[in-house]
Every structure is written in C-alpha cells, then in structure tokens.
Structure 1
Amino acid sequence: MAIEIRHLRQFLAVAEELHFTRAAERLHLAQPALSAQVKKLEEELEIQLLIRSTRAVQLTASGEEFAAKARIAVEAYDDALATAAQLRGGGAGHFSLGINPRMQPRIRMGILRRLEAISPRLTLDFVSESSVRLVSAVIEGRLDAAVVVAPTHTATLRSVLVRNSPLVAALPSTHPCATADSVTLWDLRDDEWILPSANVFASNSMMQTLCLEAGFRMKVSTKATSNYDEDFIAVREGNGIEVVPENFAPARVSDDIVFVPIESATIPIYMIAQASNESRALGAVFKAVVDPDKKLASAATTAAAAI
C-alpha cells in the first residue's frame, strides 16, 4: 500500500495510547480495522513497530524512533496546510497601501492593530503620496490599494467608502473663530480659502460643493500652495484658512494655528483597488481600514466582498 498521512496518524494514536481500543475510539475507527492498518504499515516498512499482547501494546526500539519521525512529518504536514489556508485568506505576505501624507499616526496605528487581529501574518506597508499619484500607482500596479478623499471611477478601478471624516478648519490664532468650540461653514463664508494644488489634494471640488450647499461661494486665496507645509505657512501668515478632514489634521502645528471642528460637515474617504484584484488580502485590509466607530463598520463584511 502507499503510505499516506492518515496511516501515520493512526500509528501515532496507537503509539500514544498504547492500546488499540482507546486509539480506535480516538480516531473514530473500528478496532479491528485500525489493527489491520497498522499491520499493513509494518509490512510496507518491513520493520516491526509494535509488540502486541492480549493486554497491552508496546513500541519496539524501531517503533519509538519511527514514531518520533512520523510526529515531525505530521506536524509539518499540518503546518503546511495551515500556511496554505493563511495564503488563501490573505493571511501571509505583504500588502502595500497608499495613504495621504497627512493621515494621523493614530489612524495608521489603528489600522495596523485591527489588521493584526484579522490577519496576523499579513504585513502592511504604508506608502505616503498625493491622491493623484496614489491613483496612478494603483492603476499601474505599484500599489495594491490606496485610501483617497475623492472616489475614482474607471473601468480598471473600483472605489469603496470606508469612512466619513469630519472636517476641521485650520485658522490663524487671530481669527475671530479661533477660540470657538466649533464653527459652521457659513461662519467661514468671508474668509479666503487656501486650496492645495489639485495634484496634491483631490477634494478641492468637493469642498467647493459643500460651500455651495451651505449657501455661499468659496473665496479662493490667490496664495496657491504646492505642498502641505506651504498650506500652514500661508495660514499662519494670515493669507487665508484651510479646511481639511479631521483624520488628516495634525495634533499641533504651531501656537499661531488652531484647528476648530466644523459642525455637520464631513467628507467621504474611499479605498481604491484594481477591479481585477480579488485577493482575500484586499478584503482583510479593507476591514482594517473601515472606521470601527461608525455605521460603516457594520457593513464592512458586505463591502469587503465588493472590493
């Protein structure tokens, strides 16, 4: 007969129990069938593994040595199957996730913590870039997925909502609303808004739409910026204000800038990936990215299947 892993398991059960009846019960087999299988194993190996008597079973010296090797083989087999299951479930390997450079460390740490619980053998690598560059990297296959502000709808990409981020206003400390607990968009209607270059922050049009819905047209500052550091320099110098998702607002920039929550104003955050990506690793990362404290979390499993 060809020796299979089940034959090794059967022999190991007898070797551990030193009793055919107990071993058979453990394996849910009939005792005569188990005895016959072990006998066939001995014949195939051409060595005596057991010393049998009417009352007990003992291992021969060869049986003890073979049992030790068989145990290693069975454990290696089980470990290989477990590894395969992890791979099928996205539980091993590396996954590259593009993020906005402004994403707060606490958000990143929360994602890593949840992913550790979901898929502990999957390593997540964060890549910080502007939204436009993140989209290009996903399209070109240089990133597995990315978290961006504006949704991206193309034939090759799909976007799934992962959280609605409240907005905060970055104000100079001399601003009339700087000491307020919160403001409305309407409170900011007379301010000039500093908008990052479109290739840095893809939500400019969404901000403009929010202002129109609040009843006014945004006044755009002539002080255009090309990077995030320039934004806050412009705010500090009194050239305007900036509105950003709370998730992207630093805890502190300087004493000259304060962040004030904006009432009833949110902006959607999306996760994008190639439409052809059907890996379970993608689903695992999505579940880790989705906001655990919002209603979105309850739909995470359904949405993960979609992405």
Structure 2
Amino acid sequence: MELRQLKYFIATAEELHFRKAAERVHVAQPALSQAIHQLEEEIGTLLFERNNRNVALTAAGKVFYARARVMADNACMAVHEARGVGRGDAGMVAIGFISTAAMKVLPATLKHFKEVIPAAQLELRELGPGEQMEELARGHLDIGITISEVLDEGFGVLEICREPLIAALPDRPPFAASAFVDLRDLAEETIITPSRHPRRGYYETVADAYRKAGVKPANIQCVRMIQTGLMLVGADLGISLVPESFKAIQIKGVIYRPLAEPRPEISVSAVWRSDNVSPLLHKFITELGELFPR
C-alpha cells in the first residue's frame, strides 16, 4: 500500500466522483481509477459501489476511510516534522545545567529560544560538571551548561559569561557591619562549597581564591548544591562563596558581601560533542552566542 493510493482513495471518498477526485489530486482519471482498483485488490474487498450515475462507499470503504484519513494526516505530520528537524526548526535539545546557570544563564536563554523556535522541545536536567560530561559522552545530553574547565578531545565549547564570586555570610558581627570582606579575614571560618569532582570546577575555583589570598580555610564542608550551602550559612555553620547572581536568593540569617580585590570569577560555558550534527542544537548554540556576546 502506497501513500499515493491513500491520497487517491481519500479524494474519491470525499468527492464521490471519479473525475472530480482526479482533478483534485491532479492526475488523469484512468490513473486514479487504476490505483483504487489496485488498492481494492490488495485489501481484498470493494471500497466503492459504482454504477453509471453514482459512486458510494461500501461498508468496508467507510471503515477504511476513517483509518486512511488518520494515516494520511499522520504521514503529512511526519513529513512536516522531519523537514522541521532537518532545518533546525523543530525537535528536541537535551540540556544539562548547573545551579549557577539556572540563576543567570538559563532563564533568559530558554525564554529567547522558545520565542525564536517555538516548536523546539527542551529537556532540562540539573547535573554537576562531571555528570554532564559523562552524559554528553554517552549521547544522553546534547549540550551542557557548566563550569568545568578541563575538557576531553572531541568537545566544542562556548564561554557564555564570567561571573564574580561574592561571600554569603551569617547575619552577625563582624560581617553585618562590613561593606566588603577579605578572604584573609575568613580563614578561621568553615567554608561551605560544592563537592569536588574529577574535573576541575567550582571547588577548585574556591580553593584557588583562598590560595591567591595566601590563606587556607580552617575547615571545608562539602555539599552537593550551592543552595544547600546557603541553608547551612543561614544556620551559622560557616560561610560560602557564591556567584553574584545568587544574592537574589533571600534566606533568613544570610547576608551577601562583595569580596576584596582581586575578586575570583567563575566561567560558565556551553559544552557539546563535536560530532553532534543536530541542526537544532547548532541553532541553539548560535542563539546562545548572540544572547551572550563575548
């Protein structure tokens, strides 16, 4: 059974006139009649009752028409969707992201991309830098938004932005009265930071900041998420260095202060497999670059 036969059958079933049906599908009437005859032979029953004056659907023809209409509509939709995916106008992009990106990069990116390509579907997964690289390697993600600084061969990377770190502090003396803080004054405080991963990332950025300040924190408390660390800061269990955008998160008992110069920064980047040829992915990367020009 061919789509062409379904198209001819549907036109005839709706027109109930062979000449009008042939004109509708732009073929000669004998070609249409032959295609329908072949379809009836393939199915093994008559679909039309024919006489010199009238054409009518048989009972089998009525049942077949209902199903054929659905098949034809689905085929048309499949063609439309396939063309859209091929042009990068439709399909799905699986995106991994870190919590830092969720605050600064992701909201504007997703809103903009859905406006530009409304038919695109975006699958979001919050993952750490190491987890993102693993999922990218396995083909489970199309793109990761991460702070990992060490990449394997075979990956493309686009730096999206750099964001300064600020101090999240318990709302108590001496921090409450300070306009800014120096890491050298925080050496005796427990530093709460996201856990270390096999790849260089947030943990190493915080460690570098202390090293450049010439101090070593008295104690390090690792957590999975930055937000968890903020809850611990609110309980006066330590301090944390967080991206500047996180000061939008208001937690009782937590205050935010800028760090003294030189201020450490994190680099937020998009990472993808170089062999991923998805047109939609590459449109996403292009839009990301235009939204966050460097």
TM-score, normalising length: structure 2: 0.63
Contact 1:48 1:62 in 2 (8 A): yes
Inter-partner Cα distance in structure 1 for 2:106 and 2:290:
18
Equivalent pair of 1:166/1:245 in contact (CA under 8 Å) = yes
Distance across 2 between alignment mates of 1:86 and 1:226: 49
Unaligned runs of 5+ in 2: none
Query: Contact 2:12/2:21 (CA < 8 Å) preserved in 1?
Result: yes
Q: Which residue in the other structure is 2:126 paired with?
A: 126
2:152 counterpart residue number: 154
Deviates more, 1:137-146 or 1:78-87: 78-87
CA offset at residue 176 of structure 1? 6.4
Superposition deviation, residue 27 in structure 1 = 2.0
Which residues of structure 1 form unaligned runs of 5+? Answer: 212-216, 300-307
Identify the match of residue 64 of structure 1 among 62, 65, 84.
Answer: 62
- 1:122-271 equivalence runs, <5 A: 123-127=123-127, 129=128, 131=129, 133-134=130-131, 137-138=134-135, 141=138, 144=141, 145-165=143-163, 167-173=165-171, 174=173, 188=182, 191-192=185-186, 194=191, 196=193, 199=196, 202-203=201-202, 218-228=213-223, 242-247=240-245, 251-255=249-253, 257-260=254-257, 267-271=266-270
The Cα of 1:7 is off from its aligned counterpart by: 0.7
Q: Deviations over 1:28-57 (max 9, x none)?
A: 334454344334444555636242545x53
Shift of 1:12: 0.6
Shift of 1:104: 4.9
Q: 1:176 to 1:63 in 2, by over 3 A?
A: closer
Identify the residue that residue 2 of structure 2 maps to in structure 1: 4
Whether contact under 8 Å (1:196, 1:225) holds in the other structure is: yes
**CA distance in structure 2 between the partners assigned to 1:218 and 1:247 by the alignment:** 23
Task: Kindly report the root-mean-square deviation, in angstroms, between the aligned alpha carbons of the 2 structures.
Answer: 5.0
What is the CA–CA distance in structure 2 between the aligned matches of 1:271 and 1:60, rounded to whole Å?
60
Query: Post-superposition shift, 1:100?
Result: 3.4
Alignment length (residue pairs) = 274
Distance 2:266 2:32 in 1: 66
Cα 1:142–1:73 shift into 2, 3 Å: closer
| Cα distance in 1 for residues equivalent to 2:68 and 2:205 | 64
Assess, with a 3 A threshold, how the Cα gap between structure 1 residues 298 and 42 changes in structure 2: closer, same or farther: farther
Encode CA deviations 1:180-204: one digit per residue, 9 max, x unaligned: 6xx7xxx757644758478267246
Q: Distance in 2 between matches of 1:252 and 1:218?
A: 28
- Say whether the 8 Å CA contact 2:109–2:291 is kept in structure 1: no
Output the CA distance in 2 between the equivalents of 1:41 and 1:235.
74
Deviates more, 1:164-173 or 1:74-83: 74-83
User: One-letter code of the match for 2:91?
Assistant: G
Deviations 1:222-257 (A, max 9, x none): 234241456875797597x644224555713332x2
Cα distance in 2 between the residues matched to 1:296 and 1:153:
23
Change (3 A) 1:73 1:233: closer
* Counterpart for residue 271 of structure 2: 272
Deviation at 1:155, TM superposition (A): 1.4
- 1:223 maps to a residue whose letter is A
Q: Provide the rounded CA distance (Å) in 2 between the counterparts of 1:33 and 1:96.
A: 50
Supply the distance in 2 between the matched residues of 1:298 and 1:268 (Cα, whole angstroms): 13
Residue 159 of structure 1: SS of its match in structure 2? Answer: strand
Counterpart amino acid of 1:14?
Answer: T
Give the AA of the match of 2:61. Answer: G
Q: Give identity over the alignment, percent.
A: 23
Aligned match of 2:22: 24
User: Are the aligned partners of 1:118 and 1:284 in contact in 2 as well (CA < 8 Å)?
Assistant: no
Following TM superposition, by how much is the alpha carbon of 1:4 offset from its aligned partner in structure 2, in angstroms?
Answer: 1.3
Contact 1:139–1:156 (CA<8 Å) still a contact in 2? no
Q: In structure 2, what is the equivalent of residue 305 of structure 1?
A: none
Match of 1:304 in 2: none
Partners of 2:168 and 2:233 within 8 A in 1: no
Q: Deviations over 1:155-214 (max 9, x none)?
A: 14332234444644324434567686xx7xxx7576447584782672466679999xxx
Secondary structure at the aligned position of 1:227 is classed as: strand
Alpha-carbon contact 1:147-1:269 (below 8 Å) kept? yes
User: Is contact 2:40–2:47 with CA below 8 Å preserved after alignment?
Assistant: yes
Give, in angstroms, the shift of residue 271 of structure 1: 2.5
